[in-house]
Amino acid sequence: MSTDTVTPLDEHRYVLNMGPQHPSTHGVLRVILEMEGEYVMNPQPVLGYGHRMHEKMAESRSWPNFLPNAARMDYLAALIYNHGYVGVIERLAGIEATPRAEYIRVITSEMNRLQSHLLWLGVLVLDLGAFTPIMYTFEDREKLIDILEDVTGSRLTYCYMRVGGVVRDIDDKFISRTREYIDWQRSRMPMYENLVTGNIIFRKRVEDIGEFTPDLARRYGLTGPCLRATGIPYDIRRAEPYSVYPEFDFDIPTETAGDCMAAYKVRFREIEQSLRILEQALDKLPDGPVMAKLPKKIKLPAGDATYTVESPRGELLYHLTADGSDVPYRMKIRVPSFSNLSVLPEICSGMLLSDLCACMGSLDLVIPEIDR
């Protein structure tokens, strides 16, 4: 626990300030590194450069008006944040979305997860010094975003889901384009296997780096692919099923090594699982309206509710306390990267500076999400 306290430096050590503007911190994260030569002895993340106090904003506006905020925390998983937010309102108010809307939510959420994982793949390898894969993953990601743009109207900070459903129905063109995309993405995966997974330099850089253990995960509340890399098959989509996820057949990839390579493999295989969910959801998509019939103005009853969804980075949780008025009394948003980043001081002490970059790339941090 002394990791947090500032101790006087001994004479061989110096302080290196990494960030808030640094290519490997993926946003305005600052890490104060106590260094001994090239070795990082004590990294201390400093947060809050992008802090916007979303939780206070939630208390000052009526609950439909908060939806655009939900998209602006994690810019890579905006639809999943949408999903969590409408989910918690529906749970508290006892509203059920229409079946078709639930399917569309799953389809768009999984597409969002895919584009997040594709970006992570490119960025991780970029952190390790290879410039080319990110261009390839952006090519794939561009196809996804184009499809999503057609139905949601935006490319990054989606505000697509509504309480009781989604705002626009998907059409046949969307479905056929998505099917084309699934085939395309499948055809690309062997290339990434060859270009990245099989690359000896890449393997040497990520193997045995940043070893997570199940116990460490419990102590820090680690969730998401980094947790599954330690061998625990914990995925909210399975553990506490929400929406229509129980209706799909998909695996939860796990690895046992717990190092960055294991986290890499887990995420890499999750891409295929997301494609499988997409395929099944498109096959099973029921007909019907996409918005439930709701009263003009929904009042949230007093009480509290939690809604947990699996974001690409782990457990995303909204905890809403309502007092019967039309603004939430308190909204707590538990973001996965917050807990995931807090392991950094423990696992990265004593590692080389280059490994720290690999480790942060493997945690897949999104800083605006942490800062909220």
Partner 1 sequence: MTFLPPELLRILVTVVCAIVIVFGNAVVMGYLERKFAGRFQRRPGPMEVGFHGILQLAVDGVKLVGKQLVIPRHADPVLYRIAPIISFAPSIMPMLVIPFSPKLQGRDFDVGLIFILAVVSLNVLAILIAGWSSNNKYSLLGAMRSVAQNVAYEIPMLLTLMSVILVTGTFSLRGIVEAQTNGIWFVFIMPVAFIIFFAATLAETNRAPFDLPEAESELTAGFMTEFSGMGFSLFFMAEYTYMFIACSLTVILFLGGWQGPPLPFAEYSSALWFFLKVYVLLILMIWIRWTFPRVRFDQLLNFCWKYLVPFALVHLMITAVVLKL
Partner 2 sequence: MNSRDAVISALKKLPATVNEVEFKQCGYHLEVLVDAGRLRDFALLLREGDFYLSFISGLHLKETIEVSYQFANYSFPCRLLARVEVEADNSLPTICDIFQGANWHERETRDFFGVVFRDHPNLMPLLLAEDMAELKPLLKKDDKLKERAAITRAAAAPDPQPAAAKEDA
Residues binding partner 1 (CB under 8 A): 14, 16, 22-24, 38, 125-132, 135-136, 139, 195, 199, 201-202, 204-205, 352-355, 357
Interaction partner, residue 4 (partner 2, partner 1, none; CB < 5-8 Å by kind): partner 2
Nearer to partner 1, 149 or 208 (CB): 208
User: E strands within the chain?
Assistant: 14-18, 30-36, 39-46, 161-162, 165-166, 303-311, 314-322, 328-334, 351-352
Interaction partner, residue 24 (partner 1, partner 2, none; CB < 5-8 Å by kind): partner 1
Q: Closest by alpha carbon to 26, among 74, 69, 70, 80?
A: 74
Nearer to partner 2, 160 or 318 (CB): 318
Task: Identify the burial level of 332 via C-beta atoms within 10 angstroms of its C-beta, where 0-12 means exposed, 13-18 middle and 19 or more buried.
Answer: middle
Residue 261 CB, nearest distance to partner 2 (Å)? 21
Nearer to partner 1, 89 or 125 (CB): 125
Interaction partner, residue 173 (partner 1, partner 2, none; CB < 5-8 Å by kind): none
Residue with tokens 């809050």: 48
If you write DSSP's letter for every residue of 146-208 in order, what string do you get?
HHHHHHHS-SSS---EETTEESS---HHHHHHHHHHHHHHHHHHHHHIIIIIT-HHHHHHHTT
Angstrom distance (rounded) from CA 3 to CA 93: 43
Residue 74 CB, nearest distance to partner 2 (Å)? 16
Residue 66 CB, nearest distance to partner 1 (Å)? 36
Angstrom distance (rounded) from CA 66 to CA 53: 12
Site residues (CB under 8 A) for partner 2? 1-2, 4-5, 47-48, 51, 53, 55-56, 59, 88, 91, 94, 214, 217-223, 227, 232, 234, 239-240, 301-308, 315, 317, 319, 321-324, 329-330, 332, 334, 338-339, 342-343, 346, 371-372
